C-alpha cells in the first residue's frame, strides 16, 4: 500500500531520508540506538556489516552454505588487493537497503522519516575516494567504480535521493580512543592516519563543500553538524542536547 498522494515510483519523496556520517562505525551504531529511543516512529537502517563479515551466494541458506570469507577483515589486511571488491559489495548492499519498500508503519506516519547509518553517497565520496587517494584503488578501478555508481544513481534518481545528512563530527584522536575501546575485531589495527583521512574526506564533502559531487540532490541537501567530541554514549545531558538539535532540524530537512 501507499500513503495518500504517494505513488510507488516516488515513495522516497514521501519520507525525509537522511544519512548519518560518523568518523567510525561505533559512533553511528551508538547514535542510531539513541535516535531509536528518542524518535521511535522513525525508520532506522543500520549498516549491513554482517553481510560483509560473511559473504554468501544470494538465495542460499546459512545452514547449507559456507561463507566465502570475511570481506571486512580482508580489506583491512590487504587493502590494495580487496578495495575494489569491498567497495563494489558494500555499495550494492547499501543500495539494496535504500531501495527497500517503505514499511507500512512508516507510510501511515504523517511525517515519515528514514535514517540510514551510511549510504551510497558516503560510500563514494568518503570511503572509495579515500581508498583511491591512498593508492589502494588504482585509476582503472576508480574510473570503473565511478562509472557504474553514476549510472545506477542517475537511473534510480528519487528512489535513492537523500534530503539531508547528520554529520557526527569528532577529532580523529577522539575517534581512535573510542575505537580502541570498543571496535569490531576487524578494526583493532586501525591507525590514526586512516581516521584523519576519513575526517578530511567528511570535512571536504559536508562542511567545506570542496568535494566534486555528481548528483543535483546532494548540492541542495541540508547538513546538520553535531559535535560529538564529548562521549555522548555515557552522558545523558549530552544526549539530550544532541537529540534536541536533531529534533529541531527535522523541519529544515524536509
Cα dihedral across residues 186, 187, 190, 194: positive or negative: positive
Residues contributing to the annotated binding site for ATP: 178-182
- For residue 21, CA distances in Å to 62, 123, 151 come to 31, 10, 23
Marked catalytic residue, from 117, 186, 208, 250: 117
Q: Are 115 and 45 in contact (CB under 8 A)?
A: yes
Extract the annotated binding site for substrate: 47, 76, 87, 118, 123, 187
The answer to whether 21 and 201 are in contact (CB under 8 A) is no
Q: Are 183 and 73 in contact (CB under 8 A)?
A: no
Instruction: Cite the annotated binding site by residue number.
Output: 47, 76, 87, 118, 123, 178-182, 187
Q: What span, in angstroms and rounded, lies between the C-alpha atoms of 159 and 167?
A: 22
Catalytic status, residue 117: yes
**What's the rounded Cα separation, in Å, for the pair 228 and 178?**
12
- Integer Cα distance of 149 and 145 in angstroms: 6
Residue where the block lists cell 525525509 = 16
Residues identified as active-site: 117
Amino acid at each position: 500500500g501507499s500513503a495518500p498522494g504517494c505513488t510507488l515510483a516516488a515513495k522516497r519523496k514521501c519520507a525525509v531520508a537522511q544519512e548519518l556520517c560518523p568518523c567510525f562505525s561505533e559512533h553511528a551504531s551508538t547514535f542510531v540506538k539513541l535516535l531509536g529511543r528518542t524518535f521511535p516512529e522513525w525508520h532506522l537502517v543500520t549498516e549491513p556489516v554482517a553481510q560483509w563479515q560473511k559473504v554468501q551466494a544470494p538465495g542460499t541458506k546459512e545452514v547449507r552454505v559456507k561463507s566465502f570469507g570475511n570481506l571486512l577483515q580482508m580489506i583491512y589486511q590487504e587493502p590494495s588487493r580487496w578495495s575494489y571488491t569491498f567497495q563494489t559489495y558494500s555499495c550494492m548492499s547499501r543500495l539494496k537497503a535504500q531501495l527497500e519498500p517503505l514499511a507500512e508503519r512508516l507510510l501511515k506516519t504523517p511525517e515519515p522519516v528514514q535514517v540510514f547509518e551510511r549510504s551510497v553517497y558516503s560510500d563514494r565520496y568518503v570511503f572509495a575516494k579515500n581508498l583511491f587517494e591512498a593508492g589502494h584503488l588504482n585509476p582503472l578501478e576508480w574510473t570503473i567504480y565511478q562509472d557504474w555508481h553514476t549510472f545506477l544513481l542517475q537511473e534510480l534518481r528519487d528512489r535513492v535521493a537523500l534530503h539531508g545528512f547528520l554529520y557526527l563530527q569528532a577529532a580523529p584522536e577522539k575517534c581512535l580512543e573510542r575505537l580502541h575501546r570498543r571496535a569490531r575485531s576487524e578494526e583493532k589495527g586501525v591507525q590514526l592516519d586512516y581516521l584523519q583521512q576519513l575526517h578530511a574526506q567528511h570535512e571536504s564533502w559536508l562542511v567545506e563543500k570542496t568535494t566534486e559531487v555528481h548528483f543535483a540532490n546532494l548540492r541542495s541537501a541540508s547538513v546538520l553538524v553535531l559535535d560529538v567530541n564529548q562521549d555522548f554514549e555515557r552522558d545523558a545531558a549530552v544526549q539530550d542536547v544532541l537529540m534536541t538539535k536533531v529534533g529541531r532540524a527535522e523541519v529544515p530537512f524536509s
